[in-house]
């Protein structure tokens, strides 16, 4: 943040929320959610579950949606209220805001407008999967979601294949199986870890060579017909961790 004196009374609280298990909240998070004037959420339904579980009462007009399509007027409303002394909490659909999440936009706006902000640390699927993988953690690279088109996905993987760092990918349950096959094509048969449903009842962490995971998942995953095409689908959001090039 710029060292210019910050005159605004309000603050933006960047709040990490559970990625699955609703018990993974901090006392500080609950205090903030209880006290703020507004809560910005990518998906207001998810934050309502937390508020309900911990009996935090918020009026409907205090829960504001904030996503990739939020308008300039929404940003103006947020900045104006913080400058008037209102405190606002920013939450993601799950995990830490701004990680594969539109929250970075309002954070950037606050910084540019010399508005105070602070972070309430919380769970993160990428770091959780990295730790569970058992791979080297001294140097790692978070990739997140790859482009949807196959040509762009392969182009990105070709850029990454020579890197010596542990690589972390997010993927949807519909494309995870195909991503493993692409990784095998582009990277070769490296050690890999696939984590899904992290912190939930059906949490599963699979470790082995990429080819071994493909063989295992072929027997496990559900086949679904999508627009006339049979695809293999996993349950829940997926994080894939791959060893860097040795």
Render each residue's pLDDT in the chain as its tens digit; 246 residues: 444 444 447 999 999 999 999 999 999 999 999 999 999 998 899 999 999 999 999 998 999 998 877 777 888 999 999 999 999 999 998 999 999 888 899 999 999 999 999 999 999 999 999 999 999 999 999 999 999 999 999 999 999 999 999 999 999 988 999 999 999 999 999 999 999 999 999 999 999 999 999 999 887 766 666 666 667 778 888 999 999 998
Residue ranges making up the domain that contains 44 = 11-120
Same domain, 91 and 129: no
Same domain, 71 and 157: no
Asked whether residue 5 is assigned to any structural domain, the reply reads no
Same domain, 110 and 171: no
Number of domains in the chain: 2
Same domain, 115 and 140: no
Asked whether residue 30 is assigned to any structural domain, the reply reads yes
> What CA–CA distances, in Å, run from 229 to 165, 183, 224, 225, 242?
35, 22, 8, 5, 28
């Amino acid at each position: 943040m710029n060292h210019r004196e910050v005159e605004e009374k309000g603050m933006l609280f960047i709040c990490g929320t559970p990625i699955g298990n609703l018990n993974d909240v901090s006392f500080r998070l609950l205090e903030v959610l209880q006290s703020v004037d507004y809560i910005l959420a990518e998906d207001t339904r998810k934050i309502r579950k937390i508020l309900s579980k911990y009996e935090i009462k918020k009026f409907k007009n205090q829960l504001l949606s904030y996503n990739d399509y939020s308008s300039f007027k929404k940003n103006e409303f947020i900045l104006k209220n913080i400058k008037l002394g209102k405190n606002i909490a920013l939450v993601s659909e799950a995990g830490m805001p701004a990680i594969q999440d539109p929250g970075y936009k309002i954070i950037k706006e606050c910084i540019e407008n010399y508005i105070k902000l602070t972070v309430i640390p919380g769970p993160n699927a990428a770091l959780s999967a990295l730790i569970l993988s058992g791979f080297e953690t001294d140097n790692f690279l978070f990739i997140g979601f790859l482009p949807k088109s196959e040509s762009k996905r392969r182009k990105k993987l070709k850029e990454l294949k020579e890197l010596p760092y542990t690589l972390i990918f997010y993927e949807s349950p519909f494309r995870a199986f195909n991503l493993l096959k692409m990784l095998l094509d582009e990277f070769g048969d490296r050690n890999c870890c696939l984590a899904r449903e992290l912190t939930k009842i059906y949490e599963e962490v699979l470790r082995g060579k990429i080819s071994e995971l493909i063989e295992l998942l072929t027997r496990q995953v559900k086949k679904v017909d999508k627009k006339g095409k049979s695809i293999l689908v996993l349950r829940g959001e997926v994080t894939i961790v791959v060893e860097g090039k040795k």
